[in-house]
Amino acid sequence: MKNKGNSTFRRLLPYMGKYKWSYGGLSLTMLADIGLNLTFAWFLAKVLDAAVSAQTDQWRELILIGIGILILMTITYFTDSFLKHSVSANIRNDLRQTAMSRVLRYPYAHFHSKHSGDLMSRMTNDNQTIGGACTFYLMDLIKNPLLAFCSFIYLSILHWQLALICLSMGPIMLVMGALFGKIIRRISLQIQSQKAESTTILQDILQSFMVLKTFGLEPKLFRRYQEKSDQIVSSEVKEAKIHGMANGLSALVNFLTFMIAMLMSGYFVATGSLEIGAMGAFIQLMNFLVHPFTQLPNMWANLQQALGGADRVFEVIDGPTEFNDIKEAPVADKKPSTMSVQDVSFAYEKNAAPILEKVSFQAEAGQTIAVVGPSGGGKSTLFKLLLGFYPQFQGKIQLNGEGLEDQPLEEWRSYFSYVPQETYLFSGSIKDNLLDGNEQATDAELEEALKQANAYEFVQALPEGIHTNVGEKGTRLSGGQKQRIAIARAILRDAPILLLDEATAALDNESEVLVQQALTRLMKQRTTLVIAHRLTTIQHADVILVLESGHIVERGTHEELLNRNGKYAELYNRNAEELISA
């Protein structure tokens, strides 16, 4: 195995070490299996000798021995299979959880640089291959040489010249295993990467079904998926050829050795230097000596393929993290908080034009600050900075006089509740999603939150009420219904600072009225920052910031900004005309 494989296997050792008692059991079943195989060869010799010499008085004893061997083999194989599957499942589970813990702690920027389909493939397809490397392939690679060695000792006792003939094929098989294993690992990594790419295409299709239907993208997306699928088949056929060559050459060496040994052992029996029972035992033992070598190329290739999957899973585990451990977020002080943003500048990439430049404002406890401006002005980026998604910015952001760098991210984010324009609900029931805001909420608190969010009536009208499954991303609810559930979730979180990102922009007029009423209740006794699309909804904001090209170009109340007849007045009048024409 190359250095890469050695490094990967060393990284698997701590996961395997958790199940050392199971590996101890596997070691015992391995030794028992080797002993039973040798015992069976001895038993075959006894049967043949008794048959040739017509010793019928031995049959009762031989039958009892045979039954004993069968019982022990059954117990050994059952225990061995159970332990291998159990350890394999547990190691895969540990790696899945380690990888998921890492993904959940990814910085926002790193997570969005990866396609979710690729991550999904690594945590499912690639993870599935790892169990074999830690149990089946590993134990076979240990057992087979031991079985071959013990068989060689036994063969040497029976007839050392024949034993040497069989052993001479071993080096040939070792060279073949190393050669084919290296090639197959490279191809298997390519296949796993191609499968990950096909998974990303599939996920794009499943997540955009309405868009692809509307734009008639079925032919284009099918061609894209078909091309990737054909690439997978091409690589798998190439892998099959290598496997075929390895198995074919192994079989050739295996049968050649078998034929030579058969002819020579038959000759020695004919010349009287070997008994017929010993010949039978020899043929059985020869399989135990040659077979491990013939299986070596295939086992080595499978191990390489499994380690290739482990490489990809460890790449997920090696990703950067925002914090060290996943733990319950602290509960923030429920009093309205003061927020200060001082000379904040930010660009997504080095040497790129800044998205925000020298942005400063103060949000006093309980105030509502509205942020308006044309698309691309930096409004959503500002929210991401406030939530600590991009900590590498210039300037200062403080809550109650403490900076983002002065406290853990989990504690910082506990001060915020967020209602986005495109609401995301997790698969599960309405109650499950509400409890995401506060896991300790009582049924009475859930009911009150739904009432404040103008969601209680429609939830009660559903066949299963609060236990209704919302579907993937909440697809079983309308946009307005999802938004009101999100507001109820934010009410239950009861954080002192509320971020609203154009929360009514995508709704019809009736839904907007209901959602706006719910938002007004939610904003009470909270420090609120609102990104507004419909400017008529933020007339009562304490301060309105007009953000354009990363700069605050105007600030003031609604009346003050209208009287200035500047950028805000222009945006407001245009927005009013759009509403009238609609």
Query: 320 pLDDT exceeds 80?
Result: yes
- Report the range of poorest mean pLDDT among 296-300, 474-478, 538-542: 296-300
Higher pLDDT, residue 209 or 446: 446
For residue 356, the SS3 value is strand
What is the tens place of the pLDDT at every residue in 197-208?
777 777 677 666
Identify the pLDDT of residue 211.
Answer: 54
Q: What is the DSSP string of 369-435?
A: EEEE-STTSSHHHHHHHHTTS----EEEEEETTEEGGGS-HHHHHTTEEEE-SS----SSBHHHHHH
More confident residue, 76 or 151: 76
Which of 87-101, 320-334, 344-358, 388-402 has the least mean pLDDT?
A: 320-334
Encode 387-422: b = buried (16+ Cβ within 10 Å), e = exposed.
bbbbeebebebbbeeeebeeeebbebbbbbbbbbbe
Report how far residue 342's alpha carbon sits from residue 7's, in angstroms, rounded to the nearest whole number: 47
Reported confidence tier of residue 508, pLDDT bands at 50, 70, 90: low
Long-range contacts of 352-355 (CB under 8 A, 24+ apart): 354/550, 355/381, 355/550
Contact yes or no for 515/347 (Cβ under 8 A): no
Cα 580 to Cα 582: distance, rounded to the nearest angstrom: 5
In degrees to the nearest 10, what's the CA dihedral of 81, 87, 92, 93? Answer: 120
- Quick one: pLDDT at residue 275? 76
N-terminal to C-terminal alpha carbon distance within the chain: 69
What letter would DSSP give residue 122? I
pTM, full prediction:
0.74
**Distances 61 to 32, 36, 276, 279, 331 between C-alpha atoms, Å:** 22, 17, 20, 22, 76
> Residue 495 pLDDT > 60, yes or no?
yes
Which pLDDT band, with edges at 50, 70 and 90, does 523 fall under? confident
Q: Is a pLDDT exceeding 60 seen at residue 581?
A: no
Q: pLDDT-based confidence at 421, cuts 50/70/90? A: confident
Decide which of 527 and 515 is more confident. 527
Compute the distance between CA of residue 107 and CA of residue 103 in angstroms, rounded to an integer. 9
Q: How far apart (Å, rounded) are the C-alpha atoms in residues 425 and 415?
A: 21
Q: Average pLDDT for residues 351-367, to the nearest whole number? A: 89
Distance between CA atoms of residues 149 and 154, nearest Å: 9
Strand, helix or coil for residue 304: helix
What average pLDDT does range 68-89 have in this prediction? 92
Tell me the C-alpha distance between 277 and 42, whole Å: 9
The mean-pLDDT minimum among 440-454, 466-480, 550-564 falls in 466-480
Under the banding of pLDDT at 50, 70 and 90, the label for residue 31 is very high
pLDDT tier at 2, thresholds 50, 70, 90: very low
Q: How far is CA 228 from CA 192, 197, 201, in A?
A: 12, 7, 9
Q: Which domains does the chain have, with CATH numbers?
A: 3-317 (1.20.1560.10), 339-581 (3.40.50.300)
Q: pLDDT band for 433, please (50, 70, 90 cuts).
A: confident
- Tell me what the pLDDT averaged over the chain comes to: 80
Tell me what pLDDT residue 544 has.
Answer: 92
- Would you state the pLDDT for residue 1? 40
User: How far, in Å, CA of 319 to CA of 420, rounded?
Assistant: 27
> In angstroms, what CA-CA distances link 559 with 528, 552, 571?
20, 18, 14
pLDDT in tens, 459-494: 898 888 899 988 877 788 888 888 888 888 888 888
Q: Token digits for 328?
A: 């319950």
Greater confidence, 193 or 95? 95
Considering only 138-147, 379-388, 540-549, which range has the smallest mean pLDDT? 138-147
Mean pLDDT of 440-456: 88
Q: What percent of the chain has pLDDT over 90?
A: 15
Choose the weakest-confidence range: 223-232, 246-255, 470-479, 480-489: 246-255
- The pLDDT score that the predictor gives to residue 344 is 92
Nearest to 418 by CA among 454, 447, 382: 382
State residue 128's pLDDT score. Answer: 83
Q: Which residues touch 373 (CB under 8 Å, ≥6 apart)?
A: 379, 546, 547, 548, 553, 567, 571
Least confident of 122-126, 288-292, 311-315: 288-292
- The set of residues, in sequence order, having a beta carbon less than 8 Å from that of 365 and lying 6+ positions away, is 335, 336, 337, 338, 527
Cα–Cα distance list, 98 to 127, 128, 409 (Å):
11, 14, 21
d(CA 161, CA 310): 44
pLDDT at 369 over 70: yes
Q: What gap in Å lies between CA 134 and CA 303, rounded to an integer?
A: 9
Give the mean pLDDT of 422-436.
85
Nearest CA to 480 among 460, 500, 505, 461? 505
Quick one: DSSP state of residue 330?
P
Highest mean pLDDT: which range of 44-48, 342-346, 492-496, 574-578: 342-346
Q: What is the pLDDT of residue 28?
A: 96
Q: pLDDT, tens digit, for every residue of 96-121?
A: 888 888 888 888 877 777 767 777 77
Mean pLDDT, residues 548-554 taken together: 90
What is the C-alpha separation between 412 and 423, in angstroms, rounded? Answer: 22
CA distance 151 to 163: 9
